[in-house]
Chains A and B, each alone.
Chain A
Amino acid sequence: MEQLLSILHTTLRMTTPIALAALGGLYAHRAGVLNVALEGMMLASAFFGVITSFATGNIFLALFVGILASVVLGFVFSFFGITLKGNLTIVGLAINTLVAGASSFILQVVFGQRGTFANQKIVGLKELDIPILRNIPILGDIFNKHTPIVYLSLLVLVVVHFILYHTKLGVYIRTVGEKEDAAVSVGLPVNKLRYISVLIGSVLCGLAGINIALENVTMFVENMTGGRGFIALAAIYSGRGTAIGTYVFSLLFGFADAMQIRMQNIKIPGAFIQMIPYLSIIVVLSVIGLLNKRSRRVSDDV
């Protein structure tokens, strides 16, 4: 039992960055922009967050700089991909590669570190111990003692859903993605809406990146996002572009991540264990693909 609760606690922790990136990427997805740069945005935020935290010791400043880095990349992505109409996949991959390379490079040149950057001066996010939750059995074990960003991510879910389905912005974003002509014909600012979609994603990716780097480990490791940007994309597709669906699949992938962490004590080579989250994605995507095919068949026959 204690094991299970502990796994669920870790699940929520591991879900948070995936869910934040996925919920952020959701807007771009609905606006018809394939945001491949989620990964790079998160990594940039993690890197600059750690550096700022190290330099100033101020967690809020770290948060701000991390998100700022991510937003800057969002602008770069939007400019090349939307304004200049470049190939989104290429632009996104370029940003991911750039961030991965630049972060290692800066680490080595400026800080003389290879691969990891850990230092006692780096201030991390404090876990919250919420008095009310603490005393509730089971729920308390799962939901208590997380970083503020974890709780924030649950709030983000609600807000994202509300914006997407109950506000003008949400309707416009969906219109732009589904039928651009319709948006143009009533004078909606198509490119501006796409920029907004990508930039909302950047802000949330910024939060995700900070959470990865500064929650438990408080250090920066090369490529520490480990493909979570792409996992987020998988969650968006699996969730069929809905906020709740996206979060549910983020949870699933987060759970696989938690299992992976838990099972590292078992005597199986670590590399195999570390494959679990990625294998789970392949399985989920395959199942979703089959289900989609079947539902298409049904709707086709009507």
Chain B
Amino acid sequence: MSVIEVQEVTKRFGDFTAIDQITLDFAEGEIHAICGENGAGKSTFMNMLFGLLQPTEGQILLHGKPVDFHSPKEAIHSGIGMVHQHFKLVPSLTVFENVLLGEEMTQSLKIDRQREKESVQATIDNFGFDLDAGDKIEAISVGAQQRAEIIKMLHRNVDILILDEPTAVLTPQETDELLDKLIELKNLGKTIIIITHKLDEVKKCADRVTVIRRGKKIGTVYNQDVTEKDISRMMVGRDVSLDFDKKPCTCGDLVLQLNNVTATSKLGKKVLEGIDLEVKQGEIVGIAGIEGNGQAELMELFSGTRKLTDGEMIYKGKKINCCDPAALRKMGFGLVPEDRYRDALNATMSIWENMIAGRHKDYCKLCFFDDKVIRQVTKELIEEYDIRNCDNIDALVSTLSGGNAQKIIMAREISCNPDIMIMSQPTRGVDIGSIEFIHQRIIQLRDEGKAVIVISSELTEIMNLSDRIYVMHKGKIVGERETSQTNKEDIGLLMAGINHQANREVAFSYGT
């Protein structure tokens, strides 16, 4: 029996059709995965179910009756709850205060904290979650915060739970726990809708999968009838493969070496400690780790925006201790930073301006830009890197989707012909089609004999690309593995700070 029926729903923003005539039903007590590339309209679709947006056409039926939500509050009252990708929790309040936000229990005017806490703890225990109602949100791990978000919805007696990219912030172990929990909730009769583009997770927990592409529904399939490959084909519209037959690594000379590198923050805290690391020509080195364990600081070191306080950085046999981004680039560093619009692109400038950023001198004729050459080079690169929606190169770069913006950065950095390419989260927020392309380019770089460092919190990415893997935890390298001699579980445990091979249990905590 279907709890929600969506009938020919369309959503337009001005001329742009985000959702085009989607008809879909969600059955009671199922886990239904909504898959699609970035910008396919998944979030828009869910926001309509949750009352954050209203459909332009069509209608939504809840238990057979048409509904028209104008606020999340109405949706929650009707039994639809949503856990957003970015948590909606107040850090300085406790778990129970967050859970009961908007529905406080009062005695005359005063909030009855004791009763609130007991009531929320009862719900937590009832569903068997590992959570303490009295803890402050700012003091608990990201995984626990997510549990608090889920409890917030369950406490409001929702029977339909929508989760938007719930595993993006979790470690592999936390992810498995969450998926198990979702299956448990399903068995209690809840309907769960999960938005994701991680297909292995879909395979693990979903009953049915609906694929959306460019606002249109491609199809709904039973999970057991399809493979991951089938789903990704539906998402992209063609065969996609992220498993590459890489040639074995033919490593050349040492390019970059870090010896006992330590860096301290302005406040005197060690953000990097005793980092030993090396990259050779023709090798991809992956740096795995849960975000916030020193990767960002390491990237700053490579980009010349952070000073090392101890140790040395040796590039092509020469010690470099300059803190000068321009000099590093001149020496042959290519950089793809983590936060596109903070460190790599200027959102208020055009596509061509961003394409030549950092290399303005090369495109000048008598101090003036050589417009003709710039335009031609930009167009060539757009062609070569298959960057879409770029017909007008005077358009702002921020009008591009994540994947296309990322390709602009890749095109710019690779066309500088670097000797070492360092990339942080190269496929964050990028759709699967573009991921395939970017990964291919990265491997191509390696095969051309470049040294490549990939920093990523995406374990699959690290496993697929790297020849060698370093794992970071709390500013230290806690493990080094040859990719061929390790597996996801091994790396996952290292990421959590547990070096089981060394038989040394580091406290199981996440750097927050």
Known contacts A179-B88, A181-B86, A187-B71; is A171 also within 8 Å of B93 by CB? yes
A182 to B87 alpha-carbon distance, docked (Å): 8
Most chain B CB within 10 A, of A171, A185, A187, A300, is at A185
Of residues 84 to 131 in B, which have CB atoms within 8 Å of A's CB atoms? 84, 86, 88-93, 97-98, 101-104, 106, 109-111
Q: Is A182 a contact partner of B89 (Cβ separation < 8 A)? A: yes
A301 to B110 alpha-carbon distance, docked (Å): 37
0/1 per residue, A261-302, Cβ < 8 Å to B? Answer: 000000000000000000000000000000000001100110
Q: Is A175 a contact partner of B101 (Cβ separation < 8 A)? A: yes
Known contacts A166-B110, A175-B90, A178-B91; is A300 also within 8 Å of B72 by CB? no
A179 to B86 alpha-carbon distance, docked (Å): 11
Asked whether any CB of chain A lies closer than 8 Å to the CB of B261, the reply is: no
Asked whether any CB of chain A lies closer than 8 Å to the CB of B265, the reply is: yes
Known contacts A181-B88, A185-B84, A301-B267; is A171 also within 8 Å of B72 by CB? no
Of residues 146 to 186 in A, which have CB atoms within 8 Å of B's CB atoms? 162, 166-168, 171-172, 174-175, 178-179, 181-186
- Nearest residue in A to B102 (C-beta to C-beta)? A186
Known contacts A171-B97, A186-B72; is A179 also within 8 Å of B91 by CB? yes
Question: For residue B91, which residues in chain A have a CB less than 8 angstroms away from its CB?
Answer: 178-179
Count B interface residues, CB 8 Å: 28
Q: Is B102 a contact partner of A187 (Cβ separation < 8 A)? A: yes
Asked whether any CB of chain B lies closer than 8 Å to the CB of A188, the reply is: yes
A166 to B106 alpha-carbon distance, docked (Å): 9
Question: For residue B102, which residues in chain A have a CB less than 8 angstroms away from its CB?
Answer: 172, 186-188
Most chain B CB within 10 A, of A162, A171, A172, is at A171
A105 CB to closest chain B CB, in angstroms? Answer: 43
Question: For residue B86, which residues in chain A have a CB less than 8 angstroms away from its CB?
Answer: 181
Of residues 123 to 146 in B, which have CB atoms within 8 Å of A's CB atoms? none
Asked whether any CB of chain A lies closer than 8 Å to the CB of B73, the reply is: yes
Known contacts A181-B88, A182-B101; is A175 also within 8 Å of B93 by CB? yes
Q: Is B269 a contact partner of A182 (Cβ separation < 8 A)? A: no
- Nearest residue in A to B111 (C-beta to C-beta)? A166
A159 to B84 alpha-carbon distance, docked (Å): 36
- Nearest residue in A to B265 (C-beta to C-beta)? A300
B109 CB to closest chain A CB, in angstroms? Answer: 5
0/1 per residue, B49-82, Cβ < 8 Å to A? Answer: 0000000000000000000000111101000001
A294 CB to closest chain B CB, in angstroms? Answer: 9
Q: Is A187 a contact partner of B73 (Cβ separation < 8 A)? A: yes
Contact pick for A171, options B76, B89, B101, CB 8 Å: B101
Tell me whether chain A's interface is mostly helix, strand or loop, or mixed. Answer: helix
- Chain A's interface size range is 20 to 34
A184 to B50 alpha-carbon distance, docked (Å): 12
Asked whether any CB of chain A lies closer than 8 Å to the CB of B248, the reply is: no
Contact pick for B268, options A166, A178, A297, CB 8 Å: A297
Contact pick for B111, options A171, A175, A178, A300, CB 8 Å: A171
Question: For residue B84, which residues in chain A have a CB less than 8 angstroms away from its CB?
Answer: 181, 185
Q: Is B110 a contact partner of A300 (Cβ separation < 8 A)? A: no
Contact pick for B269, options A162, A171, A185, A300, CB 8 Å: A300
B478 CB to closest chain A CB, in angstroms? Answer: 20
- Nearest residue in A to B50 (C-beta to C-beta)? A185
B105 CB to closest chain A CB, in angstroms? Answer: 10
A7 CB to closest chain B CB, in angstroms? Answer: 38
Q: Is A174 a contact partner of B90 (Cβ separation < 8 A)? A: yes
Contact pick for B92, options A167, A172, A178, CB 8 Å: A178
A167 CB to closest chain B CB, in angstroms? Answer: 5
A130 CB to closest chain B CB, in angstroms? Answer: 29
Known contacts A186-B101, A187-B102, A300-B269; is A168 also within 8 Å of B111 by CB? yes
Question: For residue A172, which residues in chain B have a CB less than 8 angstroms away from its CB?
Answer: 102
Question: For residue A162, which residues in chain B have a CB less than 8 angstroms away from its CB?
Answer: 110
- Nearest residue in B to A297 (C-beta to C-beta)? B267
Q: Is A168 a contact partner of B90 (Cβ separation < 8 A)? A: no
Question: For residue B90, which residues in chain A have a CB less than 8 angstroms away from its CB?
Answer: 174-175, 178-179, 182
- Nearest residue in A to B106 (C-beta to C-beta)? A168
- Nearest residue in A to B51 (C-beta to C-beta)? A187
Of residues 244 to 293 in B, which have CB atoms within 8 Å of A's CB atoms? 265, 267-269
Q: Is A184 a contact partner of B111 (Cβ separation < 8 A)? A: no
Question: For residue A179, which residues in chain B have a CB less than 8 angstroms away from its CB?
Answer: 88-91
A162 to B108 alpha-carbon distance, docked (Å): 13
Contact pick for A182, options B71, B74, B98, CB 8 Å: B98
Question: For residue A183, which residues in chain B have a CB less than 8 angstroms away from its CB?
Answer: 101
Known contacts A175-B93, A184-B72, A188-B102; is A301 also within 8 Å of B88 by CB? no
Question: For residue B97, which residues in chain A have a CB less than 8 angstroms away from its CB?
Answer: 171
Question: For residue B92, which residues in chain A have a CB less than 8 angstroms away from its CB?
Answer: 174, 178
A288 CB to closest chain B CB, in angstroms? Answer: 18
Q: 10 extra interchain contacts, Cβ-Cβ under 8 A, other than A175-B90, A179-B88, A297-B268?
A: A168-B104, A171-B101, A174-B90, A178-B92, A181-B84, A186-B72, A297-B267, A300-B265, A300-B269, A301-B268
Nearest 9 CB-CB pairs, A to B?
A187-B73, A186-B102, A185-B88, A297-B267, A182-B88, A179-B90, A181-B88, A187-B71, A168-B104
- Between A and B, 12 residue pairs with Cβ closer than 8 Å are A172-B102, A174-B90, A179-B89, A184-B72, A184-B88, A186-B101, A187-B73, A187-B74, A188-B102, A297-B269, A300-B267, A301-B268
